[in-house]
Amino acid sequence: MVTKSLHKRESDLANSKRQLEILSNGIFRSGDLPKFAHKIAETNQFPLKAKKLEILQINLGYMCNQVCEHCHVDAGPDRKEIMTKETMLQCLDVIKKTGAHTLDLTGGAPEMNPNFRWFVDEASKVGIKDFIVRSNLTIIKSNKKFADLPEFFKSHNVHVVSSMPHWTKGKTDKQRGTGVFDQSIEALKELNAIGYGIPGSNLRLDLVYNPSGAFLPGNQTSLEKDFKKSLLEDFNIQFHNLFAITNLPISRFLDYLIASDNYEDYMYALVEAYNPAAVKNVMCTNTLSVSWNGFLYDCDFNQMLELPVNSNAKHISDYNEELLYNRDIVISQHCYGCTAGAGSSCQGSVT
């Protein structure tokens, strides 16, 4: 069981340049597998271009109460990168003028940012259509000071999106840590009790499913059906939608793939499942990711690989939607993760 981030362990893979080297060498350098740029060029989709901005995703920091084995953020209690109030103020300026219909707060555990509640308070006043907070559920049960989070979310009409890798304890705890399943179930019951996730309720509660190993997610609709049936029968829990997300070969998941000798097979599986139709809707074309220190990225994965946007507007302080529009998306071989099968994004499958 992983207990420390790659950064804390001073692992080679804590370095994003090292990760990018791995993703460009070996089977991709030898030509056994085509590089992502070549693959999308086959269907005249290179370069990928940014379309109209729809989702502004802000990472409030890499600190987290959990240390999940597959985490692409390398988040954990030992990460100290946290967005300052000054950067939050710059984000608020952008939230007020953006044409994006969705604001998506993520982390780490975004709730661990000391200014989280103030920021949600201010951001919710802007009246963005869909205001998402990615909450890992256990945070609610981790400390008394977080116990009223469900009510706080409700009072700000926040759309809660939470991770749940399986409907059984064994598979959940293996990926996310001992005790995570029971705490998540408790937190879901609390959210249900105040109206979250109930059919017909405006209080949206969606779950995110990541495979707990070196395999791709199955059909999102079937998985949602199985999750709903089991959570209802076993725990009387309800939720709205399930987002099936493919694990991208970066950070801790890359570390796991290499350590378990699954890296090459996983990359083969991603490339074999490549779906040109998914390329049309990859999230980087309608999303912008803002890091804890205010820099702009095409997606959360590029943020972790430290691949900044290809635009003169590189920081939230010089944000300009016109400048960012139609920019070339920065790609590498990890992008195969978003184009496999039905495609994958922070909102689940894309086809």
Query: What is the closest distance, in whole angstroms, from the C-beta atom of residue 168 to other proteins in the complex?
Result: 6
Asked if 166 interacts with other proteins (CB under 8 A), we say yes
Tokens describing residue 209: 């499913």
Asked if 34 interacts with other proteins (CB under 8 A), we say no
Residue 79 DSSP code: -
Query: What is the closest distance, in whole angstroms, from the C-beta atom of residue 242 to other proteins in the complex?
Result: 10
Tokens describing residue 34: 């085509």
Query: What is the closest distance, in whole angstroms, from the C-beta atom of residue 256 to other proteins in the complex?
Result: 15
∠ CA(169), CA(61), CA(205), 5° rounding? 45
| Residue 223 or 338 with smaller CB distance to other proteins | 223
Site for other proteins in 77-116 (CB under 8 A): none
| Residue 197 or 211 with smaller CB distance to other proteins | 211
Query: What is the closest distance, in whole angstroms, from the C-beta atom of residue 257 to other proteins in the complex?
Result: 15
Query: What is the closest distance, in whole angstroms, from the C-beta atom of residue 215 to other proteins in the complex?
Result: 5
Pairing of strands 296-297, 287-290: antiparallel
Site for other proteins in 8-27 (CB under 8 A): none
| Residue 143 or 178 with smaller CB distance to other proteins | 178
Query: What is the closest distance, in whole angstroms, from the C-beta atom of residue 135 to other proteins in the complex?
Result: 22
Q: Of 76-84, 113-121, 125-133, 160-168, which segment contacts other proteins by CB under 8 A? A: 160-168
CA atoms within 13 A on the CB side of 14: 11
Residue in 171, 280, 314, 315 binding other proteins, rule: CB under 8 A: 171
Q: Label residues 254-275 b or e (16+ Cβ within 10 Å = b).
A: bbbbbeeebbeebbebbbebbe
Neighbouring CB atoms inside 10 A of 41's CB total 13
How far apart, in whole angstroms, are the C-alpha atoms of residue 290 and residue 279? 22
| Residue 209 or 243 with smaller CB distance to other proteins | 209
Neighbouring CB atoms inside 10 A of 17's CB total 9
| Residue 331 or 342 with smaller CB distance to other proteins | 342
Query: What is the closest distance, in whole angstroms, from the C-beta atom of residue 162 to other proteins in the complex?
Result: 17
- Tokens 């959990």, residue? 66
How far apart, in whole angstroms, are the C-alpha atoms of residue 251 and residue 348? 20
Residue in 119, 131, 167, 319 binding other proteins, rule: CB under 8 A: 167
| Residue 116 or 209 with smaller CB distance to other proteins | 209
Query: What is the closest distance, in whole angstroms, from the C-beta atom of residue 301 to other proteins in the complex?
Result: 21
How far apart, in whole angstroms, are the C-alpha atoms of residue 86 and residue 82? 11
Q: What is the per-residue binding string for other proteins in 260-279, x denoting contact by CB under 8 A?
A: ------------x-------
CA atoms within 13 A on the CB side of 185: 17
Neighbouring CB atoms inside 10 A of 330's CB total 19
Single out the residue of 344, 338, 330, 349 nearest to residue 50, CA to CA.
Answer: 330
Total residues at interface with other proteins (CB under 8 A): 18
Site for other proteins in 183-242 (CB under 8 A): 209, 211, 213, 215-219, 222-223, 226-227
Q: What is the SS3 assignment for 214?
A: coil
Helix H segments across 102-210?
116-125, 138-142, 149-155, 169-176, 180-193
- Residue 59 near residue 292 (C-beta atoms within 8 A): yes
Q: What is the per-residue binding string for other proteins in 286-325, x denoting contact by CB under 8 A?
A: ----------------------------------------
| Residue 195 or 218 with smaller CB distance to other proteins | 218
Residues that bind other proteins (CB under 8 A): 166-168, 170-171, 209, 211, 213, 215-219, 222-223, 226-227, 272
